[in-house]
Amino acid sequence: MKGVHDALSRLSGVKKVTVRLQENVIEVETDPARQVVPSAIWKEIQRVGFAPGNMEIWAEGVSDGSSFSVDGQPWPLVRPRPWESAPRRAHVRVVNGGEDTPKVEWVE
């Protein structure tokens, strides 16, 4: 849907948007050099008339076991677990998408 694509493409830090309505999926590729606020994506999807069911993010970050930090901003983990402190790409699900700062859980 062009409205969703255009709305998300205008957000700060968004590099590329792919919308696959048949699968109920919106993929947002971000620019690593610019900060992205997940709640802005969630709110923009709602603004154009959709109710997001969930949001999953693949992001480069670090964890201290109780939070996952992206761009220096810690996102609290719903179920903390041990994790090496070195930066790595992780897959998380946002559990409170419309809020700043998002709470996330690991996706296995």
Percentage of the chain beyond pLDDT 70 is 94
**Whether pLDDT at 52 is above 70:** no
**Higher pLDDT among residues 105 and 98, named by residue:** 105
pLDDT for the residue numbered 10: 93
The mean per-residue pLDDT over the stretch 38-66 comes to 80
What contacts 30, CB < 8 A, 6 or more positions away?
A: 13, 14, 15, 36
Question: In which band, very low, low, confident or very high, does the pLDDT at 1 lie, cut at 50, 70 and 90?
Answer: low
- Distance between CA atoms of 27 and 70, rounded to whole angstroms? 18
- Distance between CA atoms of 25 and 77, rounded to whole angstroms? 24
**Whether pLDDT at 99 is above 80:** no
* Total count of domains within the chain: 1
**Higher pLDDT among residues 15 and 88, named by residue:** 15
CATH number of the structural domain spanning residue 68: 3.30.70.100
Range of the domain at 90: 2-106
Q: Is 3 helix (H, G, I), strand (E, B) or coil?
A: helix
